[in-house]
């Protein structure tokens, strides 16, 4: 039995043990029953690719009580329909409208799990808020007018 077949069989058996019918899942997820039956037979020829395939697997996993994130990760590793790169999706969309795709991916994508990379760049610091600007201006004003000796304040007023 291939890893793909084991993945689908495990999900189907869990669904059957939980006594959840495909009709209930179809109503809850709004995925056609025949597509769910095809999924359980390991026939994904009628399924979409990329984002839609991942969202359908996530919805199916939630409906039967599986961990959605882990299930989608495993689906992406095992099936080409779960490809996370946008190039395939854009090419398929271009084929729908009978136009050759002009999309060219400028980055190389390493194989493996991108979410658990340790060499990721830390996020930039948060942008200052309005409150931060007002606080800074108030501190500047206090420094200029209250913390200087009296003769410096009078000299400042005379210059105006």
Q: Is residue 103 in some structural domain?
A: no
Token pair listed for 20: 């959840």
- What CATH number does the domain containing 40 carry? 1.10.260.40
User: Looking at the structure, do residues 86 and 23 belong to the same domain, yes or no?
Assistant: yes
At 121, list the tokens: 């760049």
Domain boundary among 46, 80, 96: 96
pLDDT for 42 equals 87
Assess whether pLDDT exceeds 80 at residue 38: yes
Task: Give yes or no for residue 157 having a pLDDT over 80.
Answer: no
Give the separation between CA 48 and CA 29, rounded to whole angstroms: 15
Q: Looking at the structure, tell me whether residues 92 and 34 fall in a common domain.
A: yes
Whole-angstrom Cα distance, residue 134 to residue 132? Answer: 6
69 & 134 share domain: no
Asked whether residue 20 is domain-assigned, the answer is: yes
The residue range of the domain holding 134 is 130-159
Report the pLDDT averaged over residues 40-46: 87
Residue 51: inside a domain: yes
Residues 82 and 147 in one domain: no
Helix/strand/coil for 9? helix
CB 72 within 8 A of CB 82: yes
Mean predicted confidence (pLDDT) in 15-35: 91
82 and 152 part of one domain: no
CA 44 → CA 60, 66, 82, distances in Å? 14, 20, 11
Instruction: Indicate whether 135 belongs to any domain.
Output: yes
The mean pLDDT of 43-49, rounded to a whole number, is 84
Q: Which residue has the higher pLDDT, 160 or 31?
A: 31
- How many distinct helices (H) and strands (E) make up the chain? 8, 0
Q: Same domain, yes or no, for 81 and 11?
A: yes
pLDDT of residue 159: 54
- Shared domain for 87 and 12, answered yes or no, is yes
Same domain, 90 and 135: no
- Please tell me the pTM assigned to this model: 0.52
> Is the domain of 62 the same as that of 137?
no
**Which tokens belong to 98?**
């009978």
What token pair was written down for 85?
A: 């790169």
* pLDDT for the residue 37: 92
The answer to whether residue 53 is domain-embedded is yes
Residue 29 located in a structural domain: yes
Cβ partners under 8 Å of residue 67, min gap 6: 61
Residues of the chain above pLDDT 90, percent = 22
Number of domains in the chain: 2
**Is 119 part of a structural domain of the chain?**
no
Q: In which residue are the tokens 């690719």 written?
A: 49
Q: Assign 104 to helix, strand or coil.
A: coil
Is the residue at 106 inside a domain?
no
The string of pLDDT tens digits covering residues 51-102 is 888 889 999 999 999 888 899 888 888 887 766 655 565 666 666 666 666 6
For 81, residues 6+ apart whose C-beta sits below 8 A from its C-beta are 44, 47, 48, 49, 50, 53, 75
């Amino acid at each position: 039995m291939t890893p793909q077949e084991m993945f689908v069989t495990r999900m189907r058996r869990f669904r059957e043990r939980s006594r959840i019918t495909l009709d209930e899942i179809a109503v809850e997820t709004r995925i056609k029953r025949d597509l769910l039956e095809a999924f359980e037979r390991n026939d994904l020829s009628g399924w979409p690719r990329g984002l839609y395939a991942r969202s359908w697997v996530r919805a199916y996993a939630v409906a039967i009580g599986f961990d959605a994130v882990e299930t989608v990760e495993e689906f992406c590793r095992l099936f080409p329909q779960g490809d996370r790169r946008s190039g395939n999706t854009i090419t398929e969309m271009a084929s729908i409208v009978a136009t050759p795709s002009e999309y060219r991916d400028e980055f190389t994508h390493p194989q493996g799990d991108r979410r658990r990379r340790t060499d990721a760049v830390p996020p930039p610091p948060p942008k200052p808020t309005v409150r931060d600007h007002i606080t800074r201006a108030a501190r500047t004003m206090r420094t200029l007018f209250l913390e200087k000796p009296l003769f410096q304040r009078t000299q400042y007023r005379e210059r105006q």
